[in-house]
């Protein structure tokens, strides 16, 4: 059973990292200020505003070192990603997984950060958090639901029920009950991991999926990759998150028709409408934590061990 990392206390130190794409210097300063204004100290990796490599926040090794150093630094209590973007797959071979596993800490991010979440649980035995990023969410869009979900989840001390925003109902695509460690993240990243040393392992797990700016026909292709590789069939259950600005052809065949076609014959529960991904509000999910889902009462429960 994977353990939650130690809690983040007020006045603790949060390390800011950019494992993928950069922000500009002014935005970096805004990220530091918003965390300090919440009562935390900040240590920022030196590549956050390094945009000389175009869509990358610096050279591959330097982006990896930014993450490695935050895990090794005894003064850093939690690590928040500034943003996603592109390029995390390029740093995986340079991450010091042994050092990371020896220094478990709160790690928060989503989207391109999916690659790191998979290995933090699969390789390091660490619960990490699919939650809001500093520039993408906290600076401009830190609503009450997003804020409370983040801090309640990373600091949970006992088992808890997942809560969607009050106005958003969780739906059921396929009925049933299931339990297993939570895995997953962004659909594009999950499909791209297949065939690499960092491939998503869905065996006996609850698979969470979200996506952004992707046409239905491309999501069909990505889901087919997961299905044809056995990743869907090996899962105990599936949770579908936010699919922000994901368009269809405008015909009668819609996104959830595609998800039904991909999962209906698997005899596993599938729930949708989980408010986590690229939308607002964004709830936080503990990747690697034991998760139990029940479509009858539409509940998602997480087990907390510290």
Looking at domain 160-302, its CATH class is alpha beta
Confidence of residue 250 (pLDDT cuts 50, 70, 90): low
Question: Which of 151, 111, 148, 138 shows the shortest CA–CA distance to 31?
Answer: 138
User: Which pLDDT does position 52 carry in this prediction?
Assistant: 60
User: Which pLDDT does position 303 carry in this prediction?
Assistant: 98
| Claim: this prediction has a pTM higher than 0.85 | yes
User: Which pLDDT does position 248 carry in this prediction?
Assistant: 79
CB atoms within 10 A of CB 249: 10
Percent with pLDDT over 70 in the chain: 99
Residue 109 is encoded by which pair of tokens?
């991010």
Report pLDDT digits (tens) over 39-95: 999 999 999 998 766 899 999 999 999 999 999 999 999 999 999 999 999 999 999
Contacts of 272 (CB under 8 A, 6+ apart): 170, 171, 172, 173, 239, 240, 256, 259
CB atoms within 10 A of CB 233: 15
Mean pLDDT of the chain: 96
CB atoms within 10 A of CB 107: 28
For range 111-118, the mean pLDDT: 98
Confidence of residue 109 (pLDDT cuts 50, 70, 90): very high
Report pLDDT digits (tens) over 8-47: 999 999 999 999 999 999 999 999 999 999 999 999 999 9
Q: Catalogue the E-assigned strands of 187-295.
A: 206-212, 237-244, 270-272, 285-287, 290-294
Question: Which of 38, 58, 42 shows the shortest CA–CA distance to 50?
Answer: 58
Enumerate the active-site residues: 111, 210, 278
Confidence of residue 1 (pLDDT cuts 50, 70, 90): confident
Residue 226 is encoded by which pair of tokens?
């997961």
CA distance 189 to 217: 17
User: Which pLDDT does position 251 carry in this prediction?
Assistant: 80
Report pLDDT digits (tens) over 205-249: 999 999 999 999 999 999 999 999 999 999 999 999 999 999 877
Report pLDDT digits (tens) over 143-187: 999 999 999 999 999 999 999 999 999 999 999 999 999 999 999
How far, CA to CA in Å, does 17 sit from each of 29, 92, 147?
Answer: 13, 15, 20
CATH value of 11-142 in 3.40.50.10740, 3.30.420.40, 1.10.1060.10, 3.30.1490.20: 3.40.50.10740
Domains of the chain, residue spans: 11-142, 160-302
């Amino acid at each position: 059973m994977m353990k939650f990392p130690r809690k983040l206390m007020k006045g603790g130190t949060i390390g800011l990292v950019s494992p993928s794409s950069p922000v500009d210097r002014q935005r970096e300063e805004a990220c530091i200020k918003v965390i300090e204004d919440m009562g935390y100290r900040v240590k920022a990796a030196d590549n956050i505003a390094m945009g000389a490599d175009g869509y990358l926040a610096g050279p591959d090794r330097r982006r990896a070192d930014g993450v490695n150093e935050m895990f090794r630094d005894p003064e850093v209590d939690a690590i928040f990603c500034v943003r996603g973007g592109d390029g995390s797959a390029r740093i995986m071979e340079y991450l010091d997984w042994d050092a990371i596993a020896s220094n478990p800490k709160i790690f928060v991010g989503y989207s391109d950060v999916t690659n790191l979440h998979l290995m933090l649980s699969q390789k390091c035995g660490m619960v990490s958090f699919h939650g809001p990023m500093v520039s993408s969410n906290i600076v401009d869009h830190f609503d009450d639901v997003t804020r409370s979900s983040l801090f309640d989840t990373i600091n949970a001390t006992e088992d808890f029920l997942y809560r969607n925003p009050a106005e958003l109902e969780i739906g059921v695509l396929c009925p049933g009950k299931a339990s297993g460690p939570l895995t997953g993240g962004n659909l594009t990243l999950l499909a791209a991991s297949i065939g690499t040393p960092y491939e998503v392992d869905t065996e006996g797990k609850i698979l969470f999926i979200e996506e952004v700016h992707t046409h239905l026909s491309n999501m069909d292709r990505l889901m087919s990759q997961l299905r044809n590789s056995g990743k869907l069939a090996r899962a105990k259950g599936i949770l579908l998150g936010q699919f922000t600005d994901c368009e269809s052809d405008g015909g009668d065949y819609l996104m959830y028709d595609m998800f039904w076609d991909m999962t209906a014959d698997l005899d596993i529960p599938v729930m949708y409408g989980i408010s986590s991904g690229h939308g607002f509000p964004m709830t936080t999910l503990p990747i690697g934590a034991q998760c139990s889902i029940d479509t009858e009462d539409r509940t998602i429960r997480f087990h907390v061990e510290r």
